[in-house]
Amino acid sequence: MVATHENKNKYKVIGKSPIRHDGVDKVTGRATYGADIKVPGLIWGDVLRSPHPHARILSIDTSKAESMDGVFAVVTNKDFPNVEEKEVSTGEDVVNLKRDQANIMAYDKVHYKGHVIAGVAAIDRNTAQEAIKKIEVKYEVLKHISDVDSAMAKNAPIILESLIGDHLGENVPNTNVAKIFRHEFGDVEQAFKDSDCVIERTFTMSMIHQGYIEPHNATAVWGQDGKINLWASTQGSFGVRAQTSGMLGIPESKIKVNYVEIGGGFGGKTKVYLEPIAALLSKKSGGRPVKLVMDRSSVFEATGPAPGGKVRMKIGANKDGKITAAETDIMFESGGYPGSAVAAGSICVFACYNLTNSKITGYDILVNKPKSAAYRAPGSPQVSFAIESVIDEICEELSLDKLQFRIDNASKEGTRRGDGVKFIRIGLEECLEAVKSSDHWNSPLGEAPKGKARGRGLATGYWMNGGGKSTCDLMLNDDGKVTLNEGSADIGGTRTSISMQAAEVLGIPVEDFHPSVPDTDSIGFTGVTGGSRTTYATGLAAYNAAQKLVEELKNRLSTIWEADSDQINFSNGTFSFENESIHIQDLAGKLDPTGGPATSTASVNLDSAGNAFGAHICDLEVDLETGKTDVIRYTAVQDVGTAVYPQYCEGQIQGGVVQGLGWALNEEYFITEDGVMANKSYLDYRMPTSLDMPMIDAIMVEVPNPLHPFGVRGVGEVTLAPPLAAAALAIKEATGKRHFDLPVKPGRIIDLYKS
């Protein structure tokens, strides 16, 4: 359902949902994924992983593995070049190459169970697996840390001994807290004193995984000319190129990353794990192509999950329904190396509310778990759970309407986020008004069956969206069709949503576009498909390329029509001048005398992207005997800017809600006392399936983004922010008990309900 706030009938292509260009290949199984890659002479790689969550490596003996028949190469961290331990920019990301190297292959210590210690290349996969078992490692097992409190405790074992923490601008050695930062505005203390009601709660949440279907994989060929050819499942080929280049000390121009389809990423495929190892194994194997494919347990144990941690939240409000002050401490587990989503979480935490007195303190904390990575609106779901839960309690305490309270305190254009940055035109108020008028909000919960109870939760969420660098090339072929090349990995059908923007400009049906994602040698730099940036930023590159193509064609026509190009009009795909007119697709075959093929290219490097807000309603039923929960109705309202491809928007919203409900109700890294993950398979890591979910209604509010000519906003991430609180608050309404720990699983529900 689309609730349009501004007229978009002016568009002919935007706002439709045509058959996606990659659809046939994907539903027929013809699409090529990383693990499908077959190169002549291909051999297999595998890696040895640490059985301990925290240990010093005393020695590694690879001799028995190296002497095995069929083994071509063994690599350890010693095979990597020495790089400086400092933060550097890769053009779209800030990385610490030394730590990233150590994360993909440990050099003196293992920081988490599953940490890679050595790699092997062999004639086949079985031989590689057998060779791995022959590598002998001596460890000094160290005390491990599994949570933020233990990591910050006095005399806690230090995980990364070279770390100098940045604590509010002070350098602090011997710490597991990599960073403490703060945003503070107004007089928070006084405002709390002046409040009619102050609620303070502490929330905990477990590390969880994105749960993409396709495991990580990489195939590499280190050519005799010193160039590296790579295939990998990634959200960004250029990111793979930059990280591999940095870790191996090879110029980016000597690395080509070939695009293959990707079976999900959700932020977890923005970092490399196998690619540099595959390249080194290929080099040591005499240039043979080497392929590595992770199994599921390795994906869980040693890629980049979303951080768990702890959030302290304190909110003050007055009886008239206005928030007076807000204060939070956000403590995120970064995993085995620094760099959690706490900075993003700190931007998101108060973004839905118009505050004048606020204080946010963020903590980035090392624990002996895999190094965390991005997951769909990184950091926002955790903090949304905390603030929305306290807002709900404030409303209850002051007997205020939960929806009206959010409307009365909602951020709008000119409101400052918690980090001080002012919003441009945003659509939170419109989302909340859409909730107010929705069928769901105005329908009763209905009576629960005997032994069950029902509740309804409401929550909002925010994600800032991303801009960055993107490139798009267009070629108008003689037959009037358009070849479009763009650099963004296509995860959600973005070939089509990007093509639609060029099609809108050119007046050519999008079905006449042939979009492709080429390798990194064949398209300009394009950032990762993440941050809800692709349809916005790469789409804008396509828009600009189309505008350039129109100008080029006007120049060509000026020769044919003997007119100045600025006298030629272009509208709805047709060029006209005085009594002459021609459609762009008819012109395509007549260009040879004017200079040959018409092409254009455009690159952008965009500043911020226009913000995204959502407001969700969750109806849920709890079995009061077992604690089992069933979501019985769910409505997600979201400002999507302009829905370029409404079915995609709906799908993104629904997908994010399902992931959020999994996070809320079941999913967790269940870490044993030994510091290892006990549930490292999909049998035990309980993600929701279609059988668990009702139809999720998506109400798309369209408040056009002023930063994009079509009003496009990123859509894919904010949808994950509200479900955690929406579900937990529905459980509260059903059972009368508030939950402060995620996941709100059956055992916790029953324990609290019966207490």
Partner 1 sequence: MAIVFVPYALRKYCEDKNIVEISGKTLGELIDNLESRYPGTKAHLLEEGSLKPGVAAVVNHTTTRKGLLEKIDDDSEIHFINAVSGGSV
Which residues contact residue 171 at a Cβ distance below 8 angstroms, ignoring those fewer than 6 apart? 164, 165
Does 641 engage in binding with partner 1 (CB under 8 A)? no
Contacting partner 1 (CB under 8 A), which of 22, 184, 692, 741?
Answer: 184
In the numeric block, the tokens 């801009």 are attached to 467
| Residue whose CB is less far from partner 1, 415 or 501 | 415
CA dist., res. 176 & res. 178, Å (int): 6
- Count, residues near partner 1 per rule CB under 8 A: 53
| Residue whose CB is less far from partner 1, 239 or 289 | 239
Contacting partner 1 (CB under 8 A), which of 28, 607, 683, 695?
Answer: 607
Phi and psi of 79, rounded to 5°?
-80, -10
Helix ranges restricted to H, 200-336: 237-248, 275-284, 296-302
Is residue 703 a contact partner of residue 6, using CB atoms and an 8 Å limit?
A: yes
| Residue 85: CB atoms within 10 Å | 15
Contacting partner 1 (CB under 8 A), which of 43, 198, 260, 343?
Answer: 343
| Smallest separation (angstroms) from partner 1 to the CB of 605 | 5
Is residue 328 a contact partner of residue 113, using CB atoms and an 8 Å limit?
A: no
Does 169 engage in binding with partner 1 (CB under 8 A)? yes
The contact pattern for partner 1, residues 533-572, with x = CB under 8 A and - = no contact, is: ----------------------------------------
| Smallest separation (angstroms) from partner 1 to the CB of 180 | 9
Kindly state the greatest CA–CA separation across the chain: 87
Is residue 597 a contact partner of residue 476, using CB atoms and an 8 Å limit?
A: yes
> Binding to partner 1 (CB under 8 A): which residues in 656-715?
707
> Binding to partner 1 (CB under 8 A): which residues in 503-532?
528, 530
CA dist., res. 520 & res. 596, Å (int): 26
Contacting partner 1 (CB under 8 A), which of 38, 133, 138, 182?
Answer: 182
What is the Cα gyration radius of the chain? 27
| Residue whose CB is less far from partner 1, 271 or 284 | 271
| Residue whose CB is less far from partner 1, 405 or 536 | 536
| Smallest separation (angstroms) from partner 1 to the CB of 646 | 27
Contacting partner 1 (CB under 8 A), which of 305, 468, 492, 641?
Answer: 468
Task: Specify the pairing of strand 482-486 against strand 696-702.
Answer: unpaired
CA dist., res. 377 & res. 533, Å (int): 12
| Smallest separation (angstroms) from partner 1 to the CB of 87 | 4
| Residue 695: CB atoms within 10 Å | 8
| Smallest separation (angstroms) from partner 1 to the CB of 434 | 24
Which residues contact residue 10 at a Cβ distance below 8 angstroms, ignoring those fewer than 6 apart? none
Does 339 engage in binding with partner 1 (CB under 8 A)? yes
The contact pattern for partner 1, residues 149-168, with x = CB under 8 A and - = no contact, is: -----------------x-x
| Residue whose CB is less far from partner 1, 330 or 665 | 330
CA dist., res. 662 & res. 692, Å (int): 10
| Residue whose CB is less far from partner 1, 526 or 735 | 526
Contacting partner 1 (CB under 8 A), which of 58, 153, 424, 678?
Answer: 424
| Residue whose CB is less far from partner 1, 362 or 539 | 362
The contact pattern for partner 1, residues 240-269, with x = CB under 8 A and - = no contact, is: ---------------------------x--
Phi and psi of 606, rounded to 5°?
-90, 140
Which residues contact residue 655 at a Cβ distance below 8 angstroms, ignoring those fewer than 6 apart? 719
The contact pattern for partner 1, residues 215-244, with x = CB under 8 A and - = no contact, is: ------------------------x-----
CA dist., res. 349 & res. 190, Å (int): 21
| Residue whose CB is less far from partner 1, 334 or 471 | 334
Neighbour-count burial of 554, counting CB atoms closer than 10 A to its CB (0-12 exposed, 13-18 middle, 19+ buried): buried
DSSP state letters, 85-99:
SSEEE-SS-EEEHHH
End-to-end CA distance of the chain: 42
Does 464 engage in binding with partner 1 (CB under 8 A)? yes
> Binding to partner 1 (CB under 8 A): which residues in 354-393?
362, 364, 373-375, 378-379
CA dist., res. 580 & res. 587, Å (int): 12
| Residue whose CB is less far from partner 1, 181 or 645 | 181
| Residue whose CB is less far from partner 1, 87 or 478 | 87
CA dist., res. 114 & res. 103, Å (int): 11
In the numeric block, the tokens 């933020």 are attached to 148
Contacting partner 1 (CB under 8 A), which of 84, 422, 566, 683?
Answer: 422
| Smallest separation (angstroms) from partner 1 to the CB of 264 | 16
| Residue whose CB is less far from partner 1, 79 or 364 | 364
| Residue whose CB is less far from partner 1, 362 or 573 | 362
| Smallest separation (angstroms) from partner 1 to the CB of 615 | 22
| Residue whose CB is less far from partner 1, 45 or 418 | 418
| Residue whose CB is less far from partner 1, 45 or 165 | 165
Contacting partner 1 (CB under 8 A), which of 183, 216, 241, 456?
Answer: 183
| Smallest separation (angstroms) from partner 1 to the CB of 579 | 46
Q: How far is CA 536 from the centre of its chain?
A: 15
Task: Specify the pairing of strand 170-172 against strand 116-122.
Answer: unpaired
| Smallest separation (angstroms) from partner 1 to the CB of 366 | 12
| Residue whose CB is less far from partner 1, 183 or 402 | 183
> Binding to partner 1 (CB under 8 A): which residues in 67-96?
87-89, 92-94
CA dist., res. 609 & res. 706, Å (int): 9
| Smallest separation (angstroms) from partner 1 to the CB of 470 | 12
Distances (CA, A) of 296 to 47, 127, 370, 421, 550: 14, 20, 14, 41, 49
Stretch of 174-182, 280-288, 535-543, 595-603 lying at the interface with partner 1 (CB under 8 A) = 174-182
Calculated CA dihedral for residues 502, 506, 510, 514, nearest 10 degrees: -70
Contacting partner 1 (CB under 8 A), which of 261, 327, 419, 552?
Answer: 419
Tell whether omega for the bond before 743 is within 30 degrees of 0, i.e. cis.
Answer: yes
| Smallest separation (angstroms) from partner 1 to the CB of 183 | 7
| Residue whose CB is less far from partner 1, 131 or 274 | 274
* Residues facing 604 on adjacent strands: 470
Is residue 638 a contact partner of residue 699, using CB atoms and an 8 Å limit?
A: yes
Is residue 485 a contact partner of residue 517, using CB atoms and an 8 Å limit?
A: yes
In the numeric block, the tokens 């267009």 are attached to 474
Q: Which H or E element spans position 75? A: strand 71-75
Is residue 210 a contact partner of residue 305, using CB atoms and an 8 Å limit?
A: yes
> Binding to partner 1 (CB under 8 A): which residues in 435-454?
none
Contacting partner 1 (CB under 8 A), which of 148, 341, 701, 749?
Answer: 341
Does 54 engage in binding with partner 1 (CB under 8 A)? no
| Smallest separation (angstroms) from partner 1 to the CB of 609 | 9
Residues in contact with partner 1 by CB under 8 A are 87-89, 92-94, 166, 168-169, 178-179, 181-185, 239, 267, 270-271, 334, 338-344, 346-347, 362, 364, 373-375, 378-379, 419-424, 464, 467-468, 528, 530, 605-608, 707
